Structure 1
C-alpha cells in the first residue's frame, strides 16, 4: 500500500466518522517554546487549553512534523525520521478513551476492501499508563485484546506532553509485532525494534508545567475538558504495510537512496556503515526540502542552524559514499517527485527550494575537504599524545574556519573514538558573539519619520568644516525634540541641533561621530552623537547641560580635540591594517566593514578561512613598521576616474559622486577613497596592537586592535600579567606555556584519580550498607538516605547493592534528601521479582509520602519528590508493600 493511499485511507476513515478534515499547519508556528511543529496536536494546543473555541468538536489531519532530538538515531534504528507525517484524530471534549480506542482499532484491523489497513489483530500489542485501569479494561473487555498483549509502562513511556509546558496526559500506544526474526519475545517492554509503535492515543486531561525530560515535570491541574489527541506515524505504517525493512526504504524515501547509489557508485545493503549514510541522506534530504518549503533558510542559529546541519550532513555522507560532483539538485528533485502528490504546494516553490539547498552545498564544499584534513590532523595528534579529547579551540577552529557545526565535529570525533571539549568550544563561541556585538550602534534615523527635517533638507546641505577646523561659528537653524520641531530648548532637554555649518564629523565610513560642545554665553549643549540625514544634513544629538537657547541664534561648535585625535588615529590605523592584510593575503582581502573610535579599530574583510597567528603577527609588524616610517598622509580631491587611474580603492560598492576624496598614506603603501578624518602623518597613530581575528559571517573575517595610548596600556597589562604568572610559577616568561601545560596535565590526572576514589568509596560502602538491611519474611529491605548525593550516585550504588544480593530476595530504597528535592531509586533483585515485587509498583506505594512521581522497569525505578520530611513515611509504606507481597 503506497504512502499516499495510507494518508487518504486515514483521513477518509475519520471523515466518515464525523471528523472535520483540517489541512496541515506550517512546520514553523509562532510558538516561543518550539523551533518546529513536533506533533500533530500542536496547531490545536489552544483548544486543549481552553484558550480558544474549536470550530469542530472533532477533527482529523495529516500534520507535517520535525523532531531533531533523535537526529543521532537517524539511519541507525528502523524507525526514526527527522521529518515525518503524523496522522491524527482529535476530540475537543467530545469522545474520550473508548472512542479513541475503537476508532484506531477499527482502521488498523478492518479489511482493505472496507477501507482499513487489513492488519492481523494477532500482531498488535498495546501499552497503557501504569495506573490507567480504565484504558486497560477497554482494551481487554471491549476490544478483546488478550491480557498477555497489554502492558503497563511508566511515565517516560506512556505519559505524553510536547516536552514543554502545555496539555498532557496518559497515553496508550499500539505496537506491531514484526516477528521473531527481528528480536526477542515479550512485547514492547522487551524489544522496540521488533515491536514497532505505530499509533499513540493520548488522553489529554492535564496541563504540565516546567521541567525536563519525559517524566520530570509538574502536573499543574486538569484541562477544561477531557480531550483526545492521537498520532499515527504514516512512515512507520508505510514500512510495515509495504513489507520493507525500515522507514528509509518506503516509496517516499527509497528513491533518494537510489539517487545516492547512482551518484556515488556505492550499493545500498552491502555495508552497514554505508547503509547508515544512505539513510541519513534520504531522511535529511526530505526534511531539508520541507523546511525550506516552509520558509526556513540556512543560518548559524535556531531553525537556520538545524537546516544547515541537515544539509551539511547530506553533503558529507554522500562524499563518504564516493560521490565527487554536485548532488543537492538531484536529491531535491527526487524528493519533489516522491512527496509532491502529498504536498503539491511544495512543487510551486521548488525553484527556491533547489536554489537554497544547492547554494548551501556549494558553500560547504569549498571548505569540507580542508576542514576534514584539519580534523584528521588534530585527531592524529591527539592519538599520538595519548589524549582522548579534542580541545575546544580545535573544535572552534573547525567551526570558525571551515563552517563545521559542532555537531559534525562531535560526529566525526565519535567515529574516530575521541571526545570533544564542548565546554571550551561554547566558551569561545560566546566570546566571538560578544565581539560581534561590541560597539554596534543603532542608527536612530534608519526607520524614523524624517518629515520634521524636510524643510532643513530643502534649504541646502550642512557645510562641513571639520577637515581643517575643530571650532566654528554657526547659525542654529533648528531644534528637534521628541520628533517635533521646537523653537526653544532648556536645561535638561534631550535635543537635536541643525547647524548651517559644523566642524563635527557625522558618523560614516565606520568612523563614529565626534563629541564636543555647542554653546553661547547663555547655554551649553553636550554633543554625544552626530548623524547624517540624506547624506547632506548633519544632526547634532545631546543634552542641554545649562541655560536656554532659541532657534536662529549664533552658536559656537567645538569638537573635543582628544576625541578627534583618537578617532583619527583609529581610522588611519584601519587603512594601514587593510594595506598590510593585502600585502600578506593578496588582493582578495578587501574591506567589508569597519568601526573606528578613540583608541580602537575594528576591521572586517572578505576571506574564506581563519588567519593563523603567525600571519596575524606579520600583519601587526607591517602595520607598526608603517607607523614607525612616519609616512605622510595626503588627501586629494579628484574625479572618480582619475582616482581609479591612481590606484585608489573604492569600497562597499558605494555610489560615489563625480568628485571624490582620496586618502594616501606613504604613497603606494595605502590609497583609498575615504571621507573620514585622518592624522597628518603615520607616526601620530602610535602603536597598533592586534587583539585577534574571528569569523563574523560566511566568508567574512574580523580583526580588532587597540591604537595609540590604548595599545600601550594593553601591552602594559599583558606584560604585567606575564610577569605575575612567571613570579607565581617561579619560571621565566619563555617557559610559561610548557609550565602551564604541565600543570593542566597534572590537574587532569588528579581529577581522574578523584573520580576513581569516588567510585571505590561507593563500592566500599555497599557491603556495610547491605549488612544493615532488615529481614521482612525472607525479603531483605535496605533503606538508606545519602543527603546531598546525586541521582547518578544513587543509581550506581543501587546497581551494586542489587548485584551483591545475588540469589537473595531483596529491595533497595535509596534517597538523597536535599533542601527541597528528594531524588530516589528503588531496585528489586530477581528473587524478589519472582515473589511479585516490581520496582515501578513500589514507586506508586511511596510516591504520596514524598510528593513524588517516577517510574521504571521491574528491576529498577527512580524518581524525585518534593517533601524531604516524608522519607520516614516512605520507608514505612515500602515496608508494608514488601510484607504484603511476601
Structure 2
C-alpha cells in the first residue's frame, strides 16, 4: 500500500466518524515562537488543549508535516532517525475519550484492506498501557486482544506531558509483531525492533504541577475537559504495510536512495558487519542523502529559503550535508538536479503542490548547490594555506580556531576539514573546535531565549478577549469610530490610567486601525476625547481577534472605560493602500515579464514604499527592470478595477489565487483581484478601488537577498512623484555643470570616465617610476649588519609594493627590508636571507610581541609607537638573528 493511500485511508476513516479534516500546517512554526518547525502532529492544536482558544470543532483529524532537528548528526547512522516525517493524528477536544479512541484505532488497524482499513493481523498487535490505567486495559480486552498482549509500563514510557505544568495523562501504544527474523519473542519490553510501535494514544485527563522531570511531577487534579491526542507515524505504518525494514525503504524514500546509489556506483545494504547502529559508511551516506533531499524539498515547498540564520540555516545545513555526502561517495557533478526530481515524484502523490511549484523549489535548491560548490572551492584554498602554515611552523595539528573559522564563516564542513588535514598528515584540534562551537550554540540559545514570548506571555491579552469578546475591527469599512477603552497595559502590567508623556498599549471595543499583517505596516492616527490627545504608533494583533494599539499620550490622560474617538490618518491610509495595491501590481508585472516562476516569497509595504522578495536566479538587467516598471505603470494607467471577494479556500486556489508561502489560511479567505485574473491573490490588506488610484510607480532598487532570491523596491503615489522629481533635478544639475542637454549626458559622462581612467593610469605609471627611483636609492644605502643588508624607511605610499621593490634590488645579498607605511609595517627577506635562516614572519612576531603574520619571505602587522623606534628595533633584531 503506497504511503499516499495510507494517508488517504487514515483521513477518510476519521472523517466518516465525524472528524473535521484539518490540513497540515506549514512546516515553519510561525504561530509558536518557541519552535522553528512543527515537530509533532498536535502543535497546531496546542492552544485548544491549553484552553487558550476555543476549538472551532469538537473532533479533528490531520496528517501533519513535521521536522525534528536536534539529532541531525545522527541521521543515517541508524535506520530509525529521520529529519522530515509525517504524523497521522486524531483529536478530541472535550468530546469522546478512551473508549472511542481505542475503538477507532482498532477498527482502522484491523479492518481488511478491501473494506478501507489497513488489514493488520489482530493476532500480531500488542498494546501497552500505563501501570494503573485499568480502564484502558479493560477497553483493549473488549477488542478481543488477550491479556498477555497488553503490557503495563511506567511513566517513562506511557505517561505524556509537555514537560511543563499543564495538561497531561496516561497513554497507550500499539505495536506490531514483525516476526522472529526481527528479534526475540516476548513483546515490546523485550525487543522494540521486532515489536514496532505504530500508534500512540494520549488520554489527556489530568493537570500536573511541580514538574521536575518526565517522571517527577505532581498531579493536581482532573481537567474540566478530557481530550484525545493520538499520533501514528506515517513512515512507521508505511514500513509495516509495505513489508520493508525501515523508513528508508518505503516508497517515498527508497527511490531517492536508489538514484544516489546508481549515480555513485554504490550498493546499499550489501555490506557485512555490525548492526544498523554501526552501518557501513556508504550506507550511512546514502541514508543521509535520501532523508535530507526529501526534507529540503518539503522545506522549500513551504517557503523556507537557505540562509545563515534560523530556519534558513537549518535548511542550508541539511542541503549541504546531502551534497557533501554525494561527493564523499565519489559523485563530483551537481547532485540536486539528479535527486530533487526523484524526491518530487515520490512526494507529489501526497502533496500535488510540489509538482505544480517545482520550478520555484528547484530554482532555490540548485542556486544553493552552486553557492556551496563555490564555498567548497574557496574553503579548500583557505584550508590549503592553513595546512601549509601549520607545517611551516612545525606543528602537527591544525588549530581549532582555524577549523571553526572555515566552518562558521565559510560554511566549510568540519568532516571535510578533518579528511583533508588527515590526507596531509595532520590532525585537527577537535577540542578547540568543539569549545568554539559550544560557545556559539550558547550565544544562539541565549539570543533565541531572549526573543521568545511563549504562550504564557499572552495571558493578559487573552483575559481581555475572554472578558469582552473579539475587537469589532472596522478597518475595511471606515477611517474613524467612537470607541471605549477596555484595558491599558504599561510595561507588560495592566494599569487603570495613563498620563501625558507615557507610552502604553490599549485595547478598544472597536477600532478602524489596520493591525500590521500580511507585509503591510500598521496605521497611524489619533485617539481623542475632551481630556485626551494620543497618537497611534503601532497596532498589532497579539492573539487572534484582539487588536492592541500602542499609543503615545500627547495631552491629558486615559483611563479604562473612557469613551474616545479613534481616527486613522487619512493620508497615511491612502499611501498604505497605494503601496499594497502597488505590491500586487509589481508581482503581476514580474510574472508577466519573467514568467510564472517569479513568485513572491515575502513583502513589506508602508505608505509610499514597497519591497517584494521573489524566487529568481541572477540579477535583472536594466532593460528587464524597465520592462517590469512599464508593465506595472500601464496596468495603473488602465484603471483596472480592484475587487475583493470572500471564497472557500479550495475554490480560491482552483481559480488561481496566489498564496504566500508558509502562511496558514482559514477555510474562508479574502481574495483581492486587480483586473480580474491579471492579479488574483489571497490578501488581508487594504487596497485602492481602481489601479489608477496608485498614482504612479517607480522602481528604486533590485538586489539579492539570498541564493535564488531577489528583492525589488519601489515607491508609489506622491513618493514616486517626489522620487522622479529628485531624479529630474539631479539630471538638470548635471546637464548644467557639464553644459550638455539631458539626452547627451550618458555620452558626456562616458567620455569623462574614459579620461579619468587614462589619467589614473598615467598617475600610476608616474608613481611606479618614482617608487623605482626610491627603491634604487634605498637599496644603494642599505646598512650592512654582519653580511646582511638592512633597509628601514617610512613612506606614505604602498608599503608592501615598496618593500618588494627594495628587496628585489638587493639582488643576491642576504637582506631584510622594513617599511612603515601609515599604521602598518611590512618586513621582507631576500632569497639569500631565507637561505641564511632569516624569516620575515619570525621577525615581525618578535617585533610586535606575537602580533602580525605572513610568510618567511614577507610578513606584516600593525605599527605601534614611533616609526623610527620601530625600525631601530627591527634593525637590532636583524643583527642578532
TM bucket, shorter chain: 0.3 to 0.5
TM-score (norm 2): 0.48
